[in-house]
Homo-oligomer: A and B are copies of this chain.
């Protein structure tokens, strides 16, 4: 909770190797056990460093975690950029396909999934202080990108609420495989469930989503959200159905 020397990375010379080893080991251990259940002793053992190394080089466990998160996210973003290296004049269809594929890669790729994907999945269920920055720097830009793609893909008359829900439907299909893998593995007899084949998965989600978007775009969301078998009458105010409780 309090800061040790924390030398600026430029000053340290050979000790930078220890810093690196700590970052690598921490990525592994945090991904495997989550922030709270990862122990600095495990991290240091795996890094071949002394227990005090974490506090010396990073101040405390939480700062180390934050550093790991930043590095993993940046690396995933760089390795699988969410524009998929597409030409700027690509069609909306192509851009959606590239978006889906790169997000799937970032989340499932074996080289990263055991670290970035798993850590992100944990952050979403059990957020630490690092989530705020993560959302601001990495998730928000992707959300904007998807919003722009959908704007091009849906008729301009589509109301923003519908468009946003469509975006969530697309992302939900993808992140499902990141979050529910333990369940998926248990649901199917061993070996028959290799749904994680990227090409097949990416193709399916793209086609599934495009089909839905075509249809929803066609209806231009004229139909009000008259829910099936809903007993409670719709609230009179058109937009402010939200609960006022601060939560």
**Interface, chain A (partner B; CB < 8 A):** 34, 36-37, 84, 94, 97-98, 101, 118, 121-127, 131-132, 135-136, 139-140, 143, 161-162, 164-166, 168-169, 171-177, 179-184, 186-187, 190-192, 194-195, 197-209, 211-212, 214-216, 225-230, 241-243, 246-247
Chain B contacts for A230, CB-based, 8 A: 199
What number of copies of this chain does the assembly contain? Answer: 2
Say yes or no: A227 contacts B203, CB within 8 Å: yes
Asked whether B242 lies within 8 Å of A191 as measured between CB atoms, the reply is yes
Shortest Cβ distance from A232 into B: residue: B199
A-B complex: 4 closest residue pairs judged by Cβ atoms: A172-B176, A211-B215, A199-B227, A194-B242
Taking the closest CB of chain B, its distance from the CB of A225, in whole angstroms, is 4
A221 to B195, CA, bound (A): 17
By the criterion CB–CB under 8 Å, are A228 and B97 in contact? Answer: yes
